[in-house]
Chains A and B, each alone.
Chain A
Amino acid sequence: MKNNFDDVFHDQDFDPTQMEKLAVWKNQTLIEEAYFDKFQTCVQQRIRMNIEIQSITIPSSQKSSLGRRKRIINSTILGLAALFVLMFFVFRPSSSEKTFTASHAPQATLQAKKNTSKKETIPQKAPAKSHHPIDTNEQKIEKLKTENDNWEIAMQDISDEELEDMIWELDWEENF
Chain B
Amino acid sequence: MKHVPNPFSNENALSKEQQFREVIAQYQKPIYYFVRRMLNNHEDAHDVSQNTFVIAWEKWDQFRGESKRSTWLHTIAYREALKCIERKSKNVSSQNLPEMASEDFPFDGDEILIALEAAMQSLPEKQKAVFILRYFEEKTYEEIAAITDTSVGALKANYHHAAEKIKTIFKKRNT
Contact = CB atoms under 8 A, between A and B. Distances in A.
A105 to B, nearest CB: 66
A147 interface: no
Interface in A1-50: 4, 8-11, 17-18, 21-22, 24-26, 28-31, 36, 39-40, 42-44, 46-48, 50
Contact of B33 (A21, A30, A39): A30
A29 to B, nearest CB: 7
Given A18-B174, A40-B24, A48 B6 contact: yes
Interface string A136-172: 0000000000000000000000000000000000000
B172 to A, nearest CB: 12
B44 to A, nearest CB: 13
B128 to A, nearest CB: 14
A42 B49 CA distance: 11
Interface residues of B, number: 38
Contact of B163 (A9, A40, A44, A47): A9
B74 interface: no
Contacts of B136: 26
A11 B106 contact: no
B113 A39 contact: no
A39 B167 contact: no
Contacts of A58: 1
Contacts of B24: 39-40, 43
B28 A40 contact: yes
20 contacts: A9-B163, A18-B170, A21-B112, A24-B110, A24-B113, A25-B117, A26-B135, A28-B106, A30-B33, A39-B32, A39-B50, A40-B28, A46-B51, A47-B54, A47-B57, A48-B8, A51-B4, A51-B6, A54-B1, A57-B1
